[in-house]
């Protein structure tokens, strides 16, 4: 469904924890010029490697977006098919 993107995250658990926390804090300050709101999901993604609660949250959101995407794609295909018949 989505393209797999590979990147390196720190091997040290403490470094991953602080990287995730700093990304989330930076995302909360996303209205500032250098920082952005894109940092919040990236921080949660990094934290999800070590914390089961965050991993469950990420997985639920992933499933929810996947279902929404599939339903949206089906409705777009159905609409375009109906437009061709008109």
Instruction: Say if residue 7's pLDDT is above 80.
Output: no
CA distance 69 to 82: 20
Instruction: Read off the pLDDT of residues 11-57 as tens digits, 9 standing for 90 and up.
Output: 888 988 999 999 999 989 888 887 888 888 889 888 888 888 888 98
Instruction: Say if residue 61's pLDDT is above 70.
Output: yes
Q: What is the pLDDT of residue 80?
A: 65
Q: What is the pLDDT of residue 37?
A: 87
Cα-based torsion angle of the residue sequence 20, 23, 25, 28 in order, rounded to the nearest 10 degrees: -130
Helix (H, G, I), strand (E, B) or coil at 49: coil
pTM of the entire predicted model: 0.61
How much is the average pLDDT of 52-66? 90
Neighbours of 51 (CB within 10 A): 15
CA distance 51 to 26: 20
């Amino acid at each position: 469904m989505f393209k797999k993107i590979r990147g390196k995250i720190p091997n040290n658990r403490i470094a991953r924890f602080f990287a995730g926390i700093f990304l989330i804090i930076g995302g909360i300050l996303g209205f500032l010029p250098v920082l952005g709101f894109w940092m919040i999901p990236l921080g949660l993604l990094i934290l999800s490697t070590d914390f089961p609660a965050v991993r469950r949250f990420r997985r639920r959101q992933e499933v929810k977006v996947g279902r929404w995407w599939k339903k949206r794609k089906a409705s777009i295909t159905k609409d375009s098919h109906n437009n061709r018949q008109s």
